Chains A and B, each alone.
Chain A
Amino acid sequence: MTDSPKMTARHVNVHYGPKQAIADVSIDIEQDRVVAFIGPSGCGKSTFLRTLNRMNDTVPSARVEGDIRLDGQDIYAPEMDVVQLRARVGMVFQKPNPFPKSIYENVAYGPRIHGLAASKADLDAVVERSLTRAGLWNEVKDRLSDSGTALSGGQQQRLCIARAIAVDPEVILMDEPCSALDPIATAKIEELIHELRGRYAIAIVTHNMQQAARVSQRTAFFHLGTLVEYGATSDIFTNPRQERTKDYITGRYG
């Protein structure tokens, strides 16, 4: 590991109104690696993930403190353009949420907004490339004008991944992307994450520990809004340093 981390978070606190959801979390998200956030539900994994592309801005009661940087640049600085930030840090949600538009329009949405394609041919190329990277091209290439919502759940989720990578992000955040999918669709997404790893920094929230072990190189264990342990996935799963991590991994609670 020669280069510096893609994103750094230092002493991050998040409050929803008077309630603290994240307390003093510091973490690095590295280029070309997958970091998994695990922990019992309600411990703040989603909340923390959403601080990384400022999606918490859309929650009126949320207040974020601390220092979060992308390539050394403070993403909460006043001069930071949220539109640009979110183009660079893409997000995939728990429930597949394709827009009620055609498959093509779903993928073309981001490039259009950000003016990334100079011509129709350009846009076609971006759509094809994104769908190919998301492993969906062969399944939908003949019906790009069908509605995105008519696809199966797993295909919808890959469409959402295609939509996210169409704007050429540097980081992709995934919030339990497989929790609404069946095992086969889940396996496909996991495979996809492996393929995407070389190109993007990826952070994935999961409640499935086997999944964390399979797809990630780094794992962060959250509990009650704090980061309990962060390290190489193999260490966390075979040799946790903290008692609480060990309890969680061995299924003592969760």
Chain B
Amino acid sequence: MSALALALIVAGLALIGWLVARARAAAFRNGSQRFSSLPGHHGWYVALWVIVPPLAFLAIWSAVSPALVTEAVVAQPAAAALPPPGFDRASILSEARALAEGRAYGAFNDLSARLAPFYAVAQARYDWIATAAALLLAFAGGGFAFTHVRPDFRARTRVERIVMGLLLAASLIAILTTIGIVASLLYEAARFFRMVPIGDFLFGTHWSPQVLDARDPGANLGAVPLFWGTFFIGAVIAMAVAIPFGLMSAVYLTQYAAPSVRRWMKPILEVLAGVPTVVYGYFAALTVAPAVRDVAVSLGVTWASSESALAAGLVMGVMIIPFVSSMADDSLNAVPSAMRDGSLAMGATSSETIRKVMIPAALPGVVGGVLLAISRAIGETMIVVMAASGVATLTANPFASATTVTRQIVDLLTGEAEFDSPKTLAAFALGLTLFIVTLLLNIVALTVVKRYREAYE
């Protein structure tokens, strides 16, 4: 039976349970007595008991059944010819499975073709078990819940609790997924550091992963030029654009703009934050980068790169402006207006008030916002993929080319990738480093901002 049919049957059972329970609950409501639960609550109580147990069972089942199926296949006499556990064995088995499920049309390996029928058989058997168990659970759950449909049963609170449980499960899934991603990142990075000493990676200044010396891969996997390029583009050039413009626009919007101006200008700024970064990316690559090079050439810099750090950084800065502006805007708004009034009442002008009272008072919030902005900038990928260089050079010259961590991750993982070479695994080490740095930045930034919010409560 297909998964869809099973789902429809369970849903149908739930509907029946809902209708029956509701009708039954409605039947004993004839008197004038007050009941804690409406008939609908009883209906939902039964319906949830019909749906949730099979669903939970199937979720767990889908995680464990492939292993069970494989075990059944391996137990067959025909499987004795399989190579010992390792890459080859795994690829034959997965090919056999693909054949059995009709996802592949030809086999590279005879053994796969021979094992495929066993796969189909085992899969069918386990599917039947799953279907039967799911239906059984649906009936059992529904029956169990139905015995509860009595006048004094608090179906309302029970439904509330089940709903809460479901919501909790949903939020746990998000958290667990993140943990899983981080765990796999850690695992792959650990594999990398078994091949390349961590010191070589973190402190080496030479990065050219395309040509690796098999005996000493670490010599060409020094990530310092990447870290520097990321910092230079994301934290120096981009912030040199984003901080002044973001701050000034926030000051204008919160302190000077008439409400009518603010009403249309703030949404426009926020829309800018929603422009897909790839759009900024081709703007950077096609418009800004050539312009920057032309300017450099007219200044007499003959060797200016058309993939300059400056072009990528400038556009990234523009992209971050709305972000800085809205963080600064929030911080300035959080400064009690009593501060402003106090200063104005001393005879200070608006700009004196802003410079000497408002901005200092909002500073922790602004700093926190800037840190968050930096963490976004260094994780930004599309702009640098399109506009930054792929060549790692250690330079502080904004007209020279520079590369970033995110750009290199993309380069390492696109094209032909062998999943156990240091070159590919380096991407995970880079990803882990980036993750740790942005995580720390975010923690620091949020702590600063939180302290600051508390100061004015």
Contacts and interface: CB of A to CB of B under 8 A. Distances in A.
Given A60-B258, A93-B338, A95-B338, A101 B345 contact: no
A58 interface: yes
Contacts of A85: 347
B346 A93 contact: no
Interface string A176-220: 000000000000000000000000000000000000000000000
A60 B344 CA distance: 15
B344 A114 contact: no
B342 A99 contact: yes
A101 B335 CA distance: 14
B345 A55 contact: yes
A109 B343 contact: yes
Given A84-B347, A114-B347, A167-B347, A58 B341 contact: yes
| Size bin of chain A's contact surface | 20 to 34
Interface string B302-344: 0000000000000000000000000000000000101111111
Interface string A29-72: 00000000000000000000000010100101000000000000
Interface in A144-182: 149, 160, 163-164, 167
Contact of B259 (A60, A93, A98): A60
A91 B345 CA distance: 6
Given A60-B259, A109-B356, A97 B344 contact: no
Contact of A109 (B340, B346, B349, B455): B346
Interface string A85-106: 1110011010101111100000
A113 B352 contact: yes
A231 interface: no
Chain B interface mostly: helix
Contacts of B348: 83, 109, 113
Contacts of B345: 53, 55, 86, 90-91, 93, 164
A87 B342 contact: no
A160 B346 CA distance: 10
A110 interface: yes
B355 to A, nearest CB: 11
A60 B360 CA distance: 25
A240 to B, nearest CB: 32
A101 B336 CA distance: 14
Contact of B346 (A58, A95, A100, A167): A167
B258 A97 contact: no
A55 B347 contact: no
Given A60-B258, A109-B356, A113-B352, A97 B339 contact: yes
A58 B344 contact: yes
A55 B344 contact: yes
Given A85-B347, A160-B342, 6 more contacts: A58-B340, A86-B344, A97-B342, A110-B347, A113-B356, A164-B346
19 contacts: A53-B345, A55-B344, A58-B340, A58-B341, A82-B347, A83-B347, A86-B347, A87-B347, A91-B345, A97-B336, A97-B342, A99-B342, A99-B357, A100-B339, A100-B361, A101-B360, A109-B346, A109-B348, A164-B345
